[in-house]
Amino acid sequence: MMDSDLSPQDKKDLDKFIKFFALKTVQVIVQARLGEKVCTRSLSSPTGSDWFNLAIKDIPEVTHEAKKALSGQLPGIGRSMCVEISLKTSEGDSMELETWCLEMNEKCDKDIKVSYTVYNRLSLLLKSLLAITRVTPAYKLSRKQGHDYVILYRIYFGEVQLTGLGEGFQTVRVGVVGTPIGTITLSCAYRTNLAFMSTRQFERTAPIMGIIIDHFVERPFGNMGHMRPCNYRAPGEDEGAYNGVEDSQEVCTTSFSTSPPSQLFLSFLLFSLFLTFTLSLPLLFFLSQLYCSRLSYQPPVLVGAADFCHPSTLNAANPHQVTTQMGIPGKEGGVPQQVPVQPCHGAQAEHGRVSSCPPADHVPATPSSSGEGAETLSRSIEVKGVSPCDVLETTFTRKVGAFVNKPGTQVTTASLDLPFAAFAPRAYDLEENDPMVQPPESPATSSPLQGSLHSQGSGESGGPAQDDFVMVDFKPAFSKDDLLPMDLGTFYREFQNPPQLASLTIDVSSQSMAEDLDSLPEKLAVYEKNIDEFDAFVDTLQ
Amino acid sequence: MNCRSEALEVSVEGRQVDEAMLALLHTILLHRSTGKFHYKKEGTYSIGTVGTQDIDCDFIDFSFVRVSSDELDRAIRKAVGEFKDAMGNGMDGMGQISLEFYQKKKSRWPFSDECIPWEVWSIKVNVVNLANEQERQICREKVGEKLGEKVINIVEVINRHEYLPKMPTQSEVDNVFDTSLKDVQPYLYKITFQITDTLGSSVSTTMRRLIKDTLAL
C-alpha cells in the first residue's frame, strides 16, 4: 500500500472518487435492468452535481441499498462490491443471471494523477459500463420482464460468489483504472445456461433434496441484502431528483407490452366468491380494500414493502405495467389465495430468505404514492385509506373447477340472509356474478368495489369461469412462440372471454327501457311540433 | 507518435447496414466525447455533462447507448447514409467505413494545418442477401450477438488507456476537440468510407474523400 506517497488531499479525493464511482456503478447496473430505455440529457454547463461528468440519475433506494451494503467501507483489496442480478418467475423459480464485481488488486500506479487522470478514467469506465450492460444476455431478459418474471438485484460487499451462475458462465471485463493505492477492475460474470434447474412446489413443502435447488436458502454472508426488483422507482423525494430521467422518458418511448390484467381480476373475482361461502361479509369487505396496494406476485419481504407499495413508481409510462407485477395464476390455472399478512416489518421472519424490510423512515413517503399509484388501478380497485405496508402475500394453489358446481339456491340464500348485507356491494351477489349463470360483464360503475370484481375479468387465461376443467397449459398446435413477441397461446388466453356487450345486459336494457318510457311523452311532443318537417321529408322521398 | 489502428468486421443484411454502423460508431464516440469545456481564469476549466440514450435497433436484435446529442447523431447518420448509398441497395457487396480521430497541427502560411490521426477505427462490412424470412430472423439475432462482441472489443481497446491527446489550453482546444456542437465535445474526428467493388473505383472514392476533407479544413 502506497498511501504514504499520497498527499492527504489526494487520498481524500481518491477515496471520494472510489466511493461515488461505486455508487454510480450500482445505479448504472440497476437502471440497465429496469426493463426500459434510459435517457438523460447532455448539459453544456456543468451543474456541479454530476459525478464523472456523466448524467446518471440516482434512484434513492438503490443508493440506500448500496450504502447499506458498503456500511461505510470502500471497495478495496480483498473487499469487493458485487451486484447480483437474478430472475424470478411467477411460479417461484429463481435464477441468478449475472454478477457485476467492482474489485481492487494490489497493482499500484504511483505516478498517476488522482484529480485528473484517475477521475477521467473512472468516467471512461462508467461509459464502458453503460455500453456493456446492454450487451450481456440479461439485458434482453430485463426488457421483457413482466407478468412471467421479474428481475431482481442484490448488492453485497466482501467475497465474490459466482457459484449461482451455473456451469460455463462467461466473464467480460469492463475495464481497469490504476490508482496509487491499487487497480480498480470492473467485470461481469454472466450465466450462459438459462435452463431452469428447480421446480418449486406451490405448497410450502420441504424441497426434495438433490432435485430442487434454491439459491436463496443458504446465505453465507452476514451482510447480504435482500433481493430487490429492478422495476420500481421511489416516490417522494426521488421524483424530484429523477425528473430529468422522467422528462426524457417522455421522449423515449418504452417498448413494454401490457399484461393481461383480466387474469388477475378474474382471480380476485373467483377468490372473493369463494370467501363468501366461508367468511362473513365484513371480513370480506375489509380484505377487498387491501388488494389495491399489491404490486407484485412476490412475497412483499423479497422486495421491501416500501417498494411494492409504490405503484406509481414503476418506470413504465404505461400504467398497466403495475398489474404485470401482480400474481397471475397463468398457465397453471391456479387460483391465487390472497392472505393478509402483518405489515412489512413483521413479515421479515416469514420466509427466512430475505433480510430486513426498508427502515421505517421510508414508510411515511409512501402514502401519497400509494394513493397516486392506486390511480393506475382505480378502474378496478379503489384505494381507501390503505396502509402502504399492508401488503398481501400471494400463494398459488391449484384448484380444479372451483366454482363450477356450487348450487344456485345456496348462492341466492347466502346473498339474502347475510346479516351485514348493507355493507356488501352488489359484487357479492353471487348469482349475478356466477360466471356459470351469466358471462362476465364489462366494468360496472355503480361501486368501485363492484368494479373491482367485474372489470376486465372477462378476458383472461385459464378459463375456469366457463369451463368445467382447468386448463393447465395451453400449447396451440403449429404455433411457435420463439419468433413472435406474443404467441398464439397467450393471444388466445387473453381474448378467450371477451366482455359482454353492454347493450345485451339485463340491467342496462332494463334501465334504458324505463328511461325510454319516461321520455316518450316529451319525444312525442317534439315530433308533433316538427310534423311539417317530417311531412316535407316524406314528400322528398316519393 | 504512431496512430493506433483498430479493425472490426461485421456481416449484415442490406437493411441492417445503417443500424450496425450507427451502433458501432456511436459506441466509439460515446467514449471519445466529453462535456463542453468552460475555461476559467488561471488555466482551469470545467466540463459539462454528457447524457446518454438507449437506442433500440429495428432490424437487429440489439440495443446500444449513444451520447444524447441530436447534432452528433445527425452528423453520424449523414455519414452512414452516404456510406449505405454508396454500397448500393439490395446488392451483395463489401465496404469499409473508417472513423478517424485526429489532432490539428498549426502550420505556417501558405501551408494548411496538418491533421495527425491518433486513432483510427475501420469497420469492414459484408452485405449479404437473404432468401426468406426465416433466414432474416436468424440473421437478426446473429448480427445482434456479433455487434455485442464488437462492443466488447471496442471497450477492451478503449480501456487500455493508451495515447490520448493532452487536455488543451483554451487557445488550442479547437485543435483537439470538435467545439462546433452545442451540448457535447467529441475529439476531432472524420468519417471516410470506401466501397470494394473494383480496385479502381475504391481508390477514386478514397481520393475524392481525402481531397474533400483536406479542403474542408
What's the confidence (pLDDT) of residue A203? 35
- Between A354 and A13, residue with greater pLDDT: A13
Residue of A27, A38, A42 to mutate, testing the B interface (most B Cβ within 10 Å of its Cβ): A42
Distance CA A4, CA B145 (A): 47
Tell me how far apart the alpha carbons of residues A413 and A430 are, in angstroms, rounded to a whole number: 10
Interchain proximity A43–B151, CB inside 8 Å: no
Say yes or no to pLDDT of A389 above 80: no
C-alpha cell at A432: 349475478
Contact: A135, B151; criterion CB under 8 Å: yes
Contact criterion met (CB < 8 Å) for A55 and B183: no
Q: Which chain B residues are closer than 8 Å to A112 by Cβ?
A: none
Task: Please report where in the chains the cell 425528473 appears, as a residue.
Answer: A243
- Amino acid identity for residue A109 in this structure: D
The 3-state DSSP class for residue B177 equals strand
Q: Spell out the residues 6+ positions from residue A385 whose beta carbon is closer than 8 angstroms to its own.
A: A289
Biggest alpha carbon–alpha carbon distance for chain B: 65
State the best of B31, B65, B73, B181 to mutate against chain A, taking most chain A CBs within 10 Å.
B65
Q: Does B65 touch chain A (CB under 8 A)?
A: yes
Is the Cβ pair A44, B35 closer than 8 Å? Answer: yes
Residue in A40, A55, A124 closest to B158 by CB: A124
Find residues 14-53 of chain B whose CB sits inside 8 Å of chain A.
27, 30-31, 34-36, 38, 46-53
- In order of A342, A357, A461, the CA distances from A306 in angstroms are 14, 8, 30
Contacts B50 to A, Cβ<8 Å? 42, 53-55
Instruction: Give the residue among A509, A524, A532, A226 at the shortest CA–CA distance from A358.
Output: A226
Check if the beta carbon of residue A373 is closer than 8 Å to that of residue A310.
Answer: yes
Identify residue B47 by its one-letter amino acid code: I
- Between A146-150, A217-221, B67-71, the lowest mean confidence (pLDDT) is in A217-221
Enter the ipTM.
0.90
| Shortest Cα–Cα distance, B145 to chain A (Å) | 8
Q: Look at A26-40, A79-93, A410-424 and tell me which has the smallest mean pLDDT.
A: A410-424
Grid coordinates standing for A499?
Answer: 366482455
Among B46, B60, B156, B159, the strongest candidate for a mutation testing the A interface, having the largest count of A CBs within 10 A, is: B159
**Residue A253: pLDDT band by 50, 70, 90 thresholds?**
very low
A176 contact residues in B (CB cutoff 8 A): 159
Of chain A, the percentage scoring pLDDT greater than 90 comes to: 24
Residue among B33, B46, B52, B158 with most chain A CBs within 10 A, to mutate: B52
Q: Inform me whether the C-beta atom of residue B136 falls under 8 Å from chain A C-beta atoms.
A: no
SS (H, E, C) A409-447: HHHHHHHHHCCCHHHCCHHHCHHHHCCCCCCCCCCCCCC
**Average pLDDT for A197-225:** 37
- Among residues A415, A451, A454, A448, the alpha carbon closest in space to that of A431 is found at A415
Please give the residue that has the higher pLDDT: either A497 or B21.
B21
Residues of A in contact with B137 (CB under 8 A): 483
Task: Tell me whether B148 touches chain A (CB under 8 Å).
Answer: yes
> With contacts defined as CB-CB under 8 Å, which chain A residues touch B52?
38-40, 54-55, 127, 130
Is A55 in contact with B156 (Cβ distance < 8 A)?
no
Rounded mean pLDDT for each run of 10 residues along chain B, 217 residues in total: 85 93 97 92 85 95 96 95 82 86 83 86 92 91 95 94 87 92 94 71 61 68
Which residue of chain A comes nearest to B71, CA vs CA? A42
Residue A21's pLDDT is 95
Nearest CA in chain A to B146: A135
| Exposure of A174 in the CB half-sphere (CA atoms within 13 A) | 33
Question: What are A's interface residues with B at a Cβ cutoff of 8 A?
Answer: 37-47, 50, 53-55, 116, 121, 124-125, 127-128, 130-132, 134-135, 139-140, 143, 172-177, 248, 252, 255, 483
What DSSP string runs through A291-356? GGG---SS-HHHH-HHHHT-GGG-S-S-TTHHHHTS---GGGT-EEEEEE---GGGTHHHHSSS-P
Q: Which residues face A335 on adjacent strands?
A: A397
Examine the pLDDT at A506 and tell me if it is beyond 70: no
Q: Which residues of A touch B46 (CB under 8 A)?
A: 46
User: Looking at residue A208, what is its pLDDT?
Assistant: 33
DSSP state at residue A54: B
Q: Which residues on A lie below 8 Å from B48 (Cβ)?
A: 42-46, 53
Q: What is the pLDDT of residues A303-335, one digit of tens each?
A: 333 333 333 333 333 433 333 333 333 333 333
CB pairs under 8 A between A and B: 120
Q: Rounded CA gap, A489 and A239, in Å? A: 39
Contact indicator for B173, B162 with CB cutoff of 8 Å = no
Å from B181 to nearest chain A CA? 10
Three cell numbers, residue B215: 479542403
| Among candidates B46, B48, B159 on the partner chain, residue whose Cβ is nearest the Cβ of A128 | B159
Q: Is the pLDDT of residue A233 over 80?
A: no
Please give the pLDDT value at position A42.
94
Is the model's pLDDT at A174 over the cut of 70?
yes
For residues A370 and A290, what is the distance between their CA atoms, to the nearest angstrom? 12
What is the layout of strands, in order, in the sheet containing A228-229?
Answer: A170-179, A182-190, A94-105, A80-89, A149-158, A228-229
Q: So what's the pLDDT on residue A281?
A: 62
Cβ contact, residue pair A134, B35, below 8 Å: no
Neighbour count for residue B183 (Cβ, 10 Å):
22
Q: What average pLDDT does this structure show over A56-80? A: 90
Taking an 8 Å cut-off on Cβ atoms, the answer to whether B48 and A53 are in contact is yes
From the list B27, B50, B61, which residue is nearest A54 (CB)? B50
Average pLDDT score over chain A: 64
Nearest CB partner across the interface for A50, out of B49, B137, B184:
B49
Contact assignment for A140 to B61 by CB distance below 8 Å? yes
Element (DSSP H or E) covering residue B174: helix B173-176
Residue to test with chain B: of A127, A173, A243, most B Cβ within 10 A: A127
Contact A347, A300 (CB under 8 A): yes
Q: Per this entry, what is the length of chain A?
A: 542
Instruction: State whether residue B217 sits within 8 Å of chain A by CB.
Output: no
CA pseudo-torsion sign A361, A365, A370, A371: positive
Q: Are B155 and A128 in contact (CB < 8 Å)?
A: yes
User: Is there a contact between A131 and B155 if contact means CB atoms under 8 Å apart?
Assistant: yes
Contact residues, chain B, for A41 at CB < 8 Å: 51, 68
Per-residue pLDDT, averaged over A363-373, amounts to: 39
Contacts of A255 in chain B (CB under 8 A): 56
Lowest-confidence region among A47-61, A413-427, B165-179: A413-427
**B162 three-class SS:** coil
| Residue B110, preceding peptide bond in cis (omega within 30° of 0) | yes
Q: Are strands B37-39 and A80-89 parallel, antiparallel or unpaired?
A: unpaired
Q: Which residues 81-120 in chain B show a CB within 8 A of chain A? A: none
For strands B4-13 and B114-128, give the pairing: parallel
* CA A342/CA A362 separation, integer angstroms: 17
Phi, psi for residue A497 in degrees, rounded to 5: -120, 85
Residue with cell 462490412: B125
Q: pLDDT at residue A336 above 50?
A: no
B50 with A42: Cβ contact below 8 A: yes
Find chain B residues with C-beta within 8 A of A52's C-beta: none
Rounded to 5 degrees, what are φ and ψ at A139? Answer: -65, -45
In chain B, what residues touch A44 (CB-CB under 8 Å)? 35-36, 48, 182-183
Contact yes or no for A37 and B56 at CB 8 A: yes
Q: Are A169 and A187 in contact, with CB atoms under 8 Å apart? A: no
